[in-house]
Amino acid sequence: MRIAVFGLGYVGTVTAAALASRGHEVCGVDVDVVKVDLIRQGASPVMEPGLGEMVAKGVEQGNLRATTSAVEALDRADVSLLCVGTPSSPRGSTDLTYLRRAIEDIASAMEVAEPPDSGFHAVVVRSTVPPGTGDDVVAPVFAARPVPAGWQVGTGMCPEFLREGSGLADFFDPPFVVLGTADDRVEAVLTGMLGFLEQDVRRVDVRSAEALKYACNAFHATKVSFTNEMSRIFRASGIDSRKVMEIFCEDRILNVSPAYLRPGFAYGGSCLPKDLRALLHMARMNALDVPLLAGVSRTNEICVDDAVERVLAGPSQVVAMLGLSFKMHTDDLRESPNVDLAERLIGKGVEVRIYDPLINPEKLIGANLRHVEARLPHLSRLLTSTPEQALNGCDVAMVATSDHTTVKALCAVRPARVLDLSGRLGADVEELPGYEGIGWAV
């Protein structure tokens, strides 16, 4: 393919050299003459192991060149990859100045450059941009003006996952290849361009592709901060945190895994809340500041606050709560966020009906019994024997269980509002007119 790469910084140079090494004809574009001249001389404008040699080989073979002219780069090109900088503004927002300029350059260049042989050109963003950029910034530029004769344009988002120091290895062995687009032709172009990776292209909507990169980077930053906070706490007790984390990372079932990374409601139960409090106490006793761990508890409280506020924002005189334990397949009510939710709604004067397939007040014992007696002393009066009894006549159903009897009842009764706290209710429930996800849009 003929590929134009806009922006010859770290991402752009790695991308251009890597694609050229696989036989594509790549032209890098940058306003910085120094960067362009370096690539023309067979040198990389950025430091990265192996990149200099790859640039030199690409230039020598004629597969890689550079220019300051968007028209030259776009001539007969099948795809434009936008790898320009998206720095922070003084207030923390993303500055899209370079992206907007590159898009305008592409649109203007189409009026002069020869169209590709196929007549179709894909404009694909690789830079990290806020969700909505593709729909609100990129696509409108090409929709607002007549496309020159011979050109058809489609847009998309294909985020990069390159780490400095291992950029080439990451390019050729990415964790996944994600493309956000509504255009089948863009998918066909990207699939052909990246076919050498031997990975399927995961197609999603544009906003999800844009959001994915932020989720990844925020999680990476969180992992670094989490590990460092734990090390500060453990160091005060004379513990080598490197040994702790070495073993920690061997757990691929819960620790380094998809476990606990599914959007839903607040955590609870007999372990997580109390053990987090214990760690925070250790930190306080040693005059240590651990804001990440302290924020975890507050974030959990906000989950409950949000649910209460969303219920009270509507005409909610009667609430059906389906699921009361802190998670499915257990009757453990200790520090269940659902118990907290019920208690707070009752305190606001809301009539609450509760159905949980595993909760039987007569079988609650020990700490489980003491906890519910302290928070919901009239639990037996609130419980219903079937989900239908809880749902009939309710204003809103708050659903924390995906038990099959619950799902069946929701589809049969069809309450005016369904607030899904689990995210596992399935398509039949999500298609109900009053369906809302606690942390997601559908």
* pLDDT reported for residue 364: 77
Final residue of a structural domain among 206, 221, 247: 206
Sequence-ordered alpha helix ranges (H) in 236-253: 241-248
User: Is 271 known to be catalytic?
Assistant: yes
- Give the total number of structural domains in the chain: 2
Q: Is residue 282 part of a domain?
A: no
Contact between 276 and 294 (Cβ < 8 Å): no
Distance CA 186, CA 80 (A): 11
Q: Is residue 336 part of a domain?
A: yes
pTM of the model as a whole: 0.88
Q: How confident is the model at residue 330 (pLDDT cuts 50, 70, 90)?
A: confident
pLDDT exceeds 80 at position 316? no
* pLDDT reported for residue 442: 77
Q: Is residue 196 part of a domain?
A: yes
Residue 75: what residue type? D
**Residue range 326-342: mean pLDDT, rounded:** 90
Percent of the chain clearing pLDDT 70 (strictly above)? 100
Cross-strand pairs, 152: 120
Q: Are residues 171 and 317 in the same domain?
A: no
Percent of the chain clearing pLDDT 90 (strictly above)? 88
Q: Report the range of poorest mean pLDDT among 97-101, 157-161, 314-318.
A: 314-318
Residue 156: what residue type? G
* pLDDT reported for residue 226: 96
Q: Angle at CA 198, nearest 5°, toward 197 and 203?
A: 85
Q: Angle at CA 54, nearest 5°, toward 52 and 57?
A: 110
Q: What CATH number corresponds to the domain at position 372?
A: 3.40.50.720
Distance CA 386, CA 363 (A): 18
Structure token digits, residue 70: 């968007």
- Selecting among 27, 271, 303, 394, the annotated active-site residue is 271
Residue 427 CB coordination number (10 Å)? 7
Categorise residue 184: left if φ over 0, alpha if ψ from -120 to 50, beta otherwise.
alpha
**Residue range 40-50: mean pLDDT, rounded:** 96
Q: Compute CA 353 distance to the chain's CA centroid, rounded to the nearest angstrom.
A: 34
Q: Are residues 36 and 185 in the same domain?
A: yes
Burial status of residue 378 (CB atoms within 10 A of its CB: 0-12, 13-18, 19 or more) = exposed
- Residue whose pair of structure tokens reads 């809301």 in the numeric block: 350
Burial status of residue 257 (CB atoms within 10 A of its CB: 0-12, 13-18, 19 or more) = exposed
Q: Are residues 318 and 170 in the same domain?
A: no
Number of H helices and E strands in the chain, helices first, is: 19, 13
Q: Which range of residues forms the domain containing residue 33? A: 2-206
Task: Kindly report each contact of residues 204-207 with a partner whose C-beta sits within 8 Å and lies 24 or more positions away, as own/partner.
Answer: 204/178, 204/179, 204/180, 205/180, 206/134, 206/135, 206/155, 206/156, 206/157, 206/180, 206/181, 206/182, 207/131, 207/132, 207/134, 207/135, 207/180
Q: Tell me if residue 201 falls in helix, strand or coil.
A: strand
Q: Are residues 41 and 179 in the same domain?
A: yes
* pLDDT reported for residue 425: 95
Burial status of residue 195 (CB atoms within 10 A of its CB: 0-12, 13-18, 19 or more) = exposed
pLDDT exceeds 80 at position 368? no
pLDDT exceeds 90 at position 311? yes
* pLDDT reported for residue 334: 87
Q: Are residues 197 and 317 in the same domain?
A: no
Q: Is residue 135 part of a domain?
A: yes
pLDDT exceeds 90 at position 301? yes
Q: How confident is the model at residue 204 (pLDDT cuts 50, 70, 90)?
A: very high
Final residue of a structural domain among 206, 231, 265: 206
**Residue range 178-187: mean pLDDT, rounded:** 98
Contact between 391 and 409 (Cβ < 8 Å): yes
Q: Are residues 318 and 174 in the same domain?
A: no
Q: Are residues 191 and 309 in the same domain?
A: no
Q: Is residue 230 part of a domain?
A: no
Q: Is residue 233 part of a domain?
A: no
Final residue of a structural domain among 206, 235, 256: 206
Q: Side by side, which strands form the sheet with 318-322? A: 351-355, 318-322, 396-399, 418-420, 435-437
Stated as kind and residue range, the H or E segment containing 195 is: none
Residue 312: what residue type? L
Q: Is residue 237 part of a domain?
A: no
Q: Is residue 227 part of a domain?
A: no
pLDDT tens, residue by residue, 60-83? 999 999 999 999 999 999 999 999
